Amino acid sequence: MNLFKRLFSEKCPHCHKTLETNQSNIVKGIIIKACPDQHFQKEFHPALETYISSSK
């Protein structure tokens, strides 16, 4: 689960705050991590083993 650990230690590239996870999305098979100030969002799709990152 190294990938999972890494996912939970990431920070916003803009303000370096720790990204927050919306736990409800884990149920849907998608983990969304976002900056609390909405600079940056990253979706992780375990089924596809891929990330989708976006800056705002």
Instruction: Name the residues that contact Zn ion, by CB under 5 A.
Output: 12, 14-15, 35, 37, 39
Q: With the C-alpha atoms ordered 26, 45, 9, 19, is the resulting torsion angle positive or negative?
A: negative
Cβ atoms 39, 12 nearer than 8 A: yes
Interatomic CA distance for residues 8 and 24, integer angstroms: 15
Q: Between residues 48 and 52, which has the closer beta carbon with respect to Zn ion?
A: 52
What's the closest the beta carbon of residue 17 comes to Zn ion, in angstroms? 5
Task: Tell the smallest beta-carbon distance from residue 20 to Zn ion (Å).
Answer: 10
User: What is the smallest separation between the CB atom of 33 and Zn ion, expressed in angstroms?
Assistant: 11
